[in-house]
Chains A and B, each alone.
Chain A
Amino acid sequence: MLEVSTPLLGAHTVSDPHIASFVIEGGAQQGFLQTSPEFSMKKLLADDSGPIYSLGPAFRAGEMGGQHRPEFAMLEWYRPGFGLGQLQLEVISLIEYLGQQFPLKFPQPFIVSYSDLFKQRFSINPHSADTQTLKSIVADVFPDHSGHLEGQDEGEKDDLLDLLFALGIEPGLQAPHFVTGFPESQASLARVGVEQGDRVALRAELYWRGIELANGYDELRDANELRSRMARDNRIRSARGLPQITPDEALLEVLAKIPPCAGIALGVDRLLMLLLGKQRLADVL
């Protein structure tokens, strides 16, 4: 696998409504500190790079807390010809290998679907439940948290799912778990497939001790689909008074040339924190 080094300052950035980029102003020029090397790496993949990895800083504006930093180390890699399952096995071997240097062992992860987690915890199918149902669950299960989630736009259902996931499900993922089959509306740059009759994002997220460690996709290669997702993101951004994001036309142009592949990004600081048995990033940085 080839190591690649990608620009930290880019002319474009991601459109996800919940990811804010640092904007760098330089006279007549403007750039964004990259929230991940994803766009640059996909352009390399489209240019026949073969399997590649990048280890470097990523930036997210406004993220600060025990497990969040506005700058963090990200290990991201892409495997042409791999499906998500193969990539998950590779992540496990990598962490097991790194774990040899640490006293804490990384147990074999469970694999569980987003949908099953919601069925077990809240007795609903998150893919088919409507916002009204989700609101009443929030009000029932987390009465102290229900008063501040107004906002009726296309993103409302995802915000409710995120609340239930963050408060009701994440804390329970103490043993390592790969969560798969996210809602289609949370596909970001992942392909969509059908699981148990529901259209789901082919995404896999690794959790350990209640903390998200890695996020992988079966990579989307359909430019029209990506364009329509970006337009939806911008509609939500507009409804919430967030800045509009101009699509990266150079990426859209080459998206179809990317070979079928799976890619994943792993938070290196968080992994170090967990392997050292620490609770907060501040303890390891």
Chain B
Amino acid sequence: MATYSTNEFKSGLKVMLEGDPCSILENEFVKPGKGQAFSRVRLRNLITGRVWERTFKSGESLEGADVMDYEMEYVYTDGDYWHFMKTDGSFEQLAADQAAVAECKQWLKETEKYTVILWNENPINVAAPNFIELEVTETDPGLKGDTAQGGSKPATLSTGAVVKVPLFINRGEVIRIDTRTGEYQNRAKS
């Protein structure tokens, strides 16, 4: 794998730090007077999702991380692993473990497409699309006429996720959810 020097650090570059693949978020050049120059770097650890801040001497280098983003379709789970299929026509399937799907498990719907981050060909993170349409499988009966007023109630979706929905939503309806906030957006048009 190639190595990258601090002057090549830029947002989006994937590098290895302390054994984990990281994505560089920001790189700031700092240099006191005639002194040593440093790069103050913010990186997202792609395994834990935590943001790290590190200072490197200018000219230091880090090993690149073999990290690729793939669009993949969710196929099924066997209970231990969640299986995804590449959409590039290869039909290649990969299994993601609990840690990789932790963040988006409640948004996993068959045939929906997800962004899967592969490190050395292994899925380390699965990200849901920003918006997803899911069926309401359980909620209190809707209140007729109450379409504009505030007020909400919990609804269980086909994936098991529980979200707050307006009072007029009924079981069996398909709704659109913002997966980043878990908030109801609207009834799906269909």
Taken residue by residue from 128 to 162, chain B's Cβ proximity to chain A (1 for < 8 Å, 0 otherwise) reads as 00000000000000000000000000000000000
Query: Is the C-beta of A278 less than 8 angstroms from some C-beta in chain B?
Result: no
Query: Is the C-beta of B81 less than 8 angstroms from some C-beta in chain A?
Result: no
Stretch at the interface among A63-71, A87-95, A96-104: A63-71
Query: Is the C-beta of A144 less than 8 angstroms from some C-beta in chain B?
Result: yes
Q: Which of A65, A155, A159, A162 makes the CB contact (< 8 A) with B29?
A: A65
Q: Which of B7, B31, B40, B56 makes the CB contact (< 8 A) with A18?
A: B31
A1-34 with Cβ < 8 A to chain B: 16, 18-19
State in angstroms the CA–CA spacing of A149 and B54 once bound together.
Answer: 11
Smallest CB–CB gap between B22 and chain A, Å? Answer: 13
Query: Is the C-beta of B173 less than 8 angstroms from some C-beta in chain A?
Result: no
Q: For B40, what are the chain A residues with a Cβ–Cβ distance below 8 Å?
A: 167
Query: Is the C-beta of B79 less than 8 angstroms from some C-beta in chain A?
Result: no
A63-B31, A65-B28, A165-B35 known; A148 vs B52 contact (CB < 8 Å):
no
Q: For A149, what are the chain B residues with a Cβ–Cβ distance below 8 Å?
A: 57
Smallest CB–CB gap between B119 and chain A, Å? Answer: 21
Q: For A277, what are the chain B residues with a Cβ–Cβ distance below 8 Å?
A: none
State in angstroms the CA–CA spacing of A149 and B37 once bound together.
Answer: 12
Q: For B53, what are the chain A residues with a Cβ–Cβ distance below 8 Å?
A: 144-145
State in angstroms the CA–CA spacing of A207 and B18 once bound together.
Answer: 35
Asked if A170 and B32 sit within 8 Å, CB to CB, the answer is yes
Query: Is the C-beta of B115 less than 8 angstroms from some C-beta in chain A?
Result: no
Query: Is the C-beta of B30 less than 8 angstroms from some C-beta in chain A?
Result: yes
Query: Is the C-beta of B189 less than 8 angstroms from some C-beta in chain A?
Result: no
Asked if B55 and A18 sit within 8 Å, CB to CB, the answer is no
Query: Is the C-beta of B63 less than 8 angstroms from some C-beta in chain A?
Result: no
Nearest B residue to A165, CB-CB: B32
A64-B29, A66-B29, A68-B29 known; A188 vs B34 contact (CB < 8 Å):
yes
Nearest A residue to B54, CB-CB: A144
Query: Is the C-beta of A113 less than 8 angstroms from some C-beta in chain B?
Result: no
Smallest CB–CB gap between B152 and chain A, Å? Answer: 42
A18-B36, A18-B37, A62-B7 known; A68 vs B57 contact (CB < 8 Å):
no
Asked if B34 and A16 sit within 8 Å, CB to CB, the answer is yes
A19-B34, A163-B38 known; A63 vs B29 contact (CB < 8 Å):
yes
Query: Is the C-beta of B58 less than 8 angstroms from some C-beta in chain A?
Result: yes
Q: Among A67, A159, A161, A166, find the residue whose CB has the most chain B CB atoms closer than 10 A.
A: A166
Query: Is the C-beta of B33 less than 8 angstroms from some C-beta in chain A?
Result: yes
A144-B52, A167-B55 known; A186 vs B30 contact (CB < 8 Å):
no
A63-B29, A68-B29 known; A158 vs B35 contact (CB < 8 Å):
yes
Q: For A197, what are the chain B residues with a Cβ–Cβ distance below 8 Å?
A: none
Q: For A16, what are the chain B residues with a Cβ–Cβ distance below 8 Å?
A: 34
B55-99 with Cβ < 8 A to chain A: 55-58, 60
Asked if B55 and A151 sit within 8 Å, CB to CB, the answer is no
State in angstroms the CA–CA spacing of A225 and B57 once bound together.
Answer: 29
State in angstroms the CA–CA spacing of A158 and B60 once bound together.
Answer: 17
Asked if A215 and B29 sit within 8 Å, CB to CB, the answer is no
A66-B29, A68-B29 known; A186 vs B34 contact (CB < 8 Å):
yes
The 6 closest A-B pairs by CB, nearest first: A65-B29, A162-B35, A145-B55, A162-B36, A159-B36, A166-B32
Question: Please, could you name 8 A-B residue pairs with CB atoms under 8 Å apart, sorted by A?
Answer: A16-B34, A18-B31, A18-B35, A18-B37, A66-B28, A68-B31, A148-B54, A166-B30
Apart from A63-B29, A68-B31, what 19 extra A-B contacts exist at CB < 8 Å?
Answer: A16-B34, A64-B7, A65-B28, A66-B28, A67-B29, A142-B55, A144-B53, A145-B53, A148-B55, A148-B57, A149-B57, A155-B36, A161-B35, A166-B30, A167-B55, A170-B32, A186-B35, A205-B33, A215-B33
